[in-house]
Amino acid sequence: MSLSKFLACTVSAVTVIAAVGCADGTGKALTPTLPTIDSTTNADGTRLKATTPVASAPRASVRVSNLTPQLTVANATGTFGAATLAYEFEVHEGTTRLAASEPIGATTSAQTVWTVPSNTLKLNKTYSWRARATTGGVAGTWSDAATFRTPAPPPVDGPVACSSSAGPVLIGCVGNAYPAYLVSTAKGDGSLERRHRNMEFIRDRIIETGRCKGLDLARNFKRGSPVISHDFIVLRQSGQKDRGVDIASGFDDVDKPLKLTWQVFGLDRGYGFPFYAGYPTVDCSGVN
Instruction: Provide the number of structural domains found in the chain.
Output: 3
* pLDDT attached to residue 37: 60
Q: How far is CA 190 from CA 28, 163, 185, 254, in A?
A: 93, 36, 9, 10
Pair (78, 26) in one structural domain: no
In a domain, 154, yes or no: no
What does the radius of gyration of the chain's CA atoms come to, in whole angstroms? 31
Pair (122, 205) in one structural domain: no
* pLDDT attached to residue 12: 40
Nearest to residue 122, comparing CAs of 90, 100, 104, 99? 99
* pLDDT attached to residue 61: 94
Distance (Å, whole) CA 176 – CA 174? 5
Per residue of the chain (288 residues), give pLDDT as tens: 444 444 444 444 334 333 444 444 545 444 444 456 655 667 777 878 888 999 999 999 999 988 999 999 999 988 766 568 999 999 999 999 999 999 999 999 899 999 999 999 998 899 999 999 998 888 899 999 999 999 877 667 899 989 899 999 999 999 988 988 999 998 766 889 999 999 999 999 999 999 999 999 999 999 889 999 999 999 999 998 899 999 999 888 999 999 999 999 865 655 557 999 999 999 998 787
Element (H, E) at 13: helix 3-15
Cis-peptide into 257, omega within 30 deg: no
114, 149, 184 - which closes a domain: 149
Pair (175, 104) in one structural domain: no
In a domain, 274, yes or no: no
Pair (18, 107) in one structural domain: no
* pLDDT attached to residue 151: 84
* pLDDT attached to residue 5: 44
Tell me the three state secondary structure of residue 181: helix
Pair (197, 114) in one structural domain: no
Q: How many CB atoms lie within 10 A of CB 131?
A: 28
Burial tier of 87 (Cβ tally within 10 Å: 0-12, 13-18, 19+): buried
Distance (Å, whole) CA 244 – CA 233? 6
Nearest to residue 76, comparing CAs of 128, 127, 139, 136? 139
The H helix count followed by the E strand count for the chain is 4, 14
Q: How far is CA 14 from CA 5, 23, 36, in A?
A: 14, 13, 19
In a domain, 156, yes or no: no
Pair (131, 216) in one structural domain: no
Assign residue 98 the CATH number of its domain: 2.60.40.10
Cβ–Cβ under 8 Å, residues 67 and 151: yes
In a domain, 188, yes or no: yes
* pLDDT attached to residue 286: 79
In a domain, 283, yes or no: no
Nearest to residue 78, comparing CAs of 136, 20, 29, 31? 136
User: Which domain range does residue 20 map to?
Assistant: 1-32
Nearest to residue 274, comparing CAs of 227, 201, 219, 226? 219
Q: How many CB atoms lie within 10 A of CB 2?
A: 8
Distance (Å, whole) CA 58 – CA 64? 8
Pair (75, 122) in one structural domain: yes
Distance (Å, whole) CA 98 – CA 117? 10
* pLDDT attached to residue 49: 83
